[in-house]
Amino acid sequence: MKLLRYALAIVALAVTTLDSHGQEPVALVDIKTIDPTIVVALRYASPNNITGRALYPPGTRALVRPEVAQRLAGAQTFLRRYQYQLKIWDAYRPPTVQFQLWQAIHNDDYVADPRAGAGSLHSWGIAVDVTLTDTWNNPVTMPSDFDDLTPAAMWRYGGTDLVVRNHLRLLQFTMAQAGFYGLRIEWWHFTIEDLQKYLPARVAKRATQVLGSSWQGKL
């Protein structure tokens, strides 16, 4: 019965994506079923987000395309060698939730208009918002909190705290090695690097131009 309920949930999500983008249904997987050691704390499942209210129903799982989940598992394996681990703040985001965010923020520098282009890459199951914790799931210091719409959230850290800088470098290096691009204005946002495979040609080029931040330094 549990398997049936899970299968129905996946189908419902695929239909939502199909209705919103006119694409073939997308098979999504629960990140925890691929690697149960990855920490999941969806910020839009609680009021602890920029809107001040929960946008996801209780029990929402962190869903992504299978290829994304496998790469996250690879990143987690690497991080655990250094006594760190991934924490997922957001994964697949239904277009209905994206529309609520757009209404709340209405700033396309930070929130994609769900009616334009590809909308949010979260709604295609190819983007995640992540941070680090230590092995015991304690938070580590990072440049800013989630959904911080200030220069503190930039990909290139402008502060002087060496601990924060090293944490961010570790996250960036790990995600780049696992096959993800970052986003210039959000240090926590990562998209699978071969995203053209998952988007219609009419929007893939524009989405690629927006992305492209990747690790170029040394660990």
Judge whether 24 counts as a catalytic residue.
Answer: no
In the set 24, 67, 186, 193, the catalytic residue is 186
Predicted confidence (pLDDT) per residue in 90-108, tens digit: 999 998 899 899 888 867 6
Neighbours of 162 (CB within 10 A): 8
Per DSSP bridges, beta strands 84-90 and 39-40 are parallel
Angstrom distance (rounded) from CA 103 to CA 145 = 21
Report the SS3 class of residue 23: coil
Closest CA to 186 of 135, 140, 121, 133: 121
Distant-in-sequence, close-in-space partners of 141: CB < 8 Å, separation ≥ 6: 161, 163, 164, 167
Identify the pLDDT of residue 112: 72
Q: pLDDT band at residue 7, thresholds of 50, 70 and 90?
A: very low
Q: pLDDT band at residue 110, thresholds of 50, 70 and 90?
A: confident
Domains for the chain: give ranges and CATH numbers. 29-210 (3.30.1380.10)
187: Cα separation from own chain's centroid: 11
Report the SS3 class of residue 115: coil
Residue 112: phi and psi, rounded to 5, are -75, 135
Give the orientation angle of helix 2-21 with respect to helix 95-105, to 10 degrees: 60
pTM (predicted TM-score):
0.83
